[in-house]
Amino acid sequence: MEVKIHRCEHADDLREIVLSHYHLQADDLERLKKNELSDPLTCTNMELCLSILKDIREKHEKILICGDYDCDGICATAILCKAFEACQIDYGFYIPKRIEEGYGLHVDVLEKALAKGYRNIITVDNGVRAVEAMKFIRENHMRLILSDHHTFEKEDIVCDCFIHPFLADDAFYNCCGAGMALQIARCLIPDDKDIVALAALATIADSMPVIRENRNIIRKGIEFLNEGCMPALHALKNKPQDIFNMKMMSYTIIPKINSMGRLSDHVNVNNAVRYLLLKDQNAILNVARQINKINELRKEMSSDMEKIANGELQHTSFEIIAHRDFHEGIVGLVASKMASAHHRPFLILSELENEYKGSMRSVEGFDLIRYFSSFDGFERFGGHAQAAGVTIKKENLSALKHYIETHEMIYEENKTIECEWASEQAFSIQTVMEYMKLAPFGNGFEEILFYIENIQIQKKISLSNGKYYKIISSSGIEYLFFNSSLIPLIHEGMNVIAKVSLNDFRGQYHICMTVEDVIEENIYVQ
């Protein structure tokens, strides 16, 4: 790993460092702090979409909302349910069972919908790959509003109205499925806070770039949540006093929503949508307890699978572990944890009757899609460089292992970590507070990594029985070491790479640095 350090002329002025890092002018800082949502009517094909929905309402027809089983798809479905309910559009909704049915819009679902009198379909967070479903809809003279955000082939799309971020202007270009559902819903119920909160949750869950409209959705959604909207999401907090922010939502709320989709053999994922639509507080609390139990089950199963996987390591450069006790809905979580812990790619497979279904996770610099581009033994294979889903016949597993043994694993060049040189004097409660107002940080708008040198240790404190450490420097700044591998590197005069935040303890703010690395060599100052 190479570390490249940018040295701003004003290393003791946090505001100047921020402007330099993000290539901003002073006026841009205020613009980034605003969170007004864009005009949804500017989305391509939105007028046509609204015209179809108006026609459905006036003719007293029914429309089926077809969603997906992850947090984005669940939230997107709930958003349109709320909008259609408010506008008195006769609707139903359906999310497929992950294990039994798999992803996407299926013809058998459409056959049942048609039998129940549905002649209109709207997809959210899926649809662009449902070629057979689109053909069925056309042949049966049904109408389809296709709303999705996944990559598509233009020649595959056959629908009455296509709502997609790639067709929209720059503001909406990176929106997720719920982000696009939000634009439709805002045209129908423009002042509803719940739908914005749900879109914010989904945007965070799908790790969408925190730029353009996504920034506005996240900021506004978190603001509305902390004002008290969406009691169903409040009921999923670990503690009533917890404040909504990206980190809390990522580690607390989103896994609980996703657990409903992962364990489709234990719970009906459609109940997750019904939960988000609840208004009665007693009903909300009752269902929230059930969701928490499902999430605890998911964690127990994940932990058990990790133990099995660790016991079957082959210590190869690309680990493949298959087991009949692996749950299909959790293999991705286990693969991710194993790859992170053992620093190499993993494929975790659930053994079924005639095939394996599983998930791959990679490590920095190794592209899964590129590596397996010449392997033709998968029944299904798709994803991106760092994560992919797999279905493979049992008889082809040996061919996959042989492919890995005979094909060189090529890694891209080591990643360069870029950070900003800063003196401890640059950080005050006021300057850090102003910097934090630029949140949300995330994909596309990451937090700044600061390089701070020659730290003088005033106090060293053990946390959680030595699992973590906190250092207080002579300037009074707290340095937190959550990575256990860095603890032996703690020493007087050390240089660190860290992210800054404010710790609020009993009404008192403290400047807090979360240490990402302790640096001694490979320094390049620009």
Residue from 115, 110, 117, 116 nearest 131 by CA: 110
Whether the pLDDT of residue 526 is over 60: the answer is no
Residue with tokens 């240790």, as numbered in its chain: 457
Mean model confidence pLDDT for the chain: 92
pLDDT tens digits for 184-239?
Answer: 999 999 999 999 999 999 999 998 999 889 999 999 999 999 999 999 999 999 99
Please report which confidence band the pLDDT of residue 7 belongs to, taking 50, 70 and 90 as the band edges: confident
Find the radius of gyration of the CA atoms of the chain: 25
494-511 burial code (b ≥16 CB/10 A, e <16): bbbbbbbbeeeeeeeeeb
Residue 262 has what pLDDT? 93
pLDDT tens digits for 153-183?
Answer: 888 999 999 999 999 777 899 999 999 999 9
Residue 523 has what pLDDT? 56
Whether the pLDDT of residue 525 is over 60: the answer is no
Whether the pLDDT of residue 418 is over 90: the answer is no
Q: Tell me how far apart the alpha carbons of residues 409 and 407 are, in angstroms, rounded to a whole number.
A: 6
Residue 524 has what pLDDT? 53
Average pLDDT over residues 426-445: 91
Amino acid at 70: D
How big is the CA angle at 177 (ends 171 and 181), to the nearest 5 degrees? 80
pLDDT tens digits for 42-52?
Answer: 999 999 999 99
Residue 359 and residue 339 in contact, taking contact as beta carbons nearer than 8 Å? no
Is residue 487 classed exposed, middle or buried when 0-12, 13-18 and 19+ CB atoms within 10 A define those classes? middle
Please report which confidence band the pLDDT of residue 26 belongs to, taking 50, 70 and 90 as the band edges: confident
Q: Which domains does the chain have, with CATH numbers?
A: 2-32+415-525 (2.40.50.460), 40-281 (3.90.1640.30), 318-406 (3.10.310.30)
Residue 144 and residue 121 in contact, taking contact as beta carbons nearer than 8 Å? yes
438: Cα within 13 Å, side-chain hemisphere: 23
Please report which confidence band the pLDDT of residue 1 belongs to, taking 50, 70 and 90 as the band edges: low
Whether the pLDDT of residue 478 is over 70: the answer is yes
Pair type for strands 387-393 and 355-361: antiparallel
Whether the pLDDT of residue 465 is over 90: the answer is no
Residue 280 has what pLDDT? 96
Please report which confidence band the pLDDT of residue 507 belongs to, taking 50, 70 and 90 as the band edges: confident
Beta-bridged to residue 390, according to DSSP, are 358, 381
Q: Tell me how far apart the alpha carbons of residues 177 and 206 are, in angstroms, rounded to a whole number.
A: 9
Average pLDDT over residues 388-414: 91
Residue 4 and residue 131 in contact, taking contact as beta carbons nearer than 8 Å? no
Beta-bridged to residue 361, according to DSSP, are 346, 387
Q: Which two tokens stand for residue 490?
A: 């703690």
Q: Provide the percentage of residues in the chain whose pLDDT is more than 90.
A: 77
Residue 480 and residue 456 in contact, taking contact as beta carbons nearer than 8 Å? no
Beta-bridged to residue 356, according to DSSP, are 351, 392
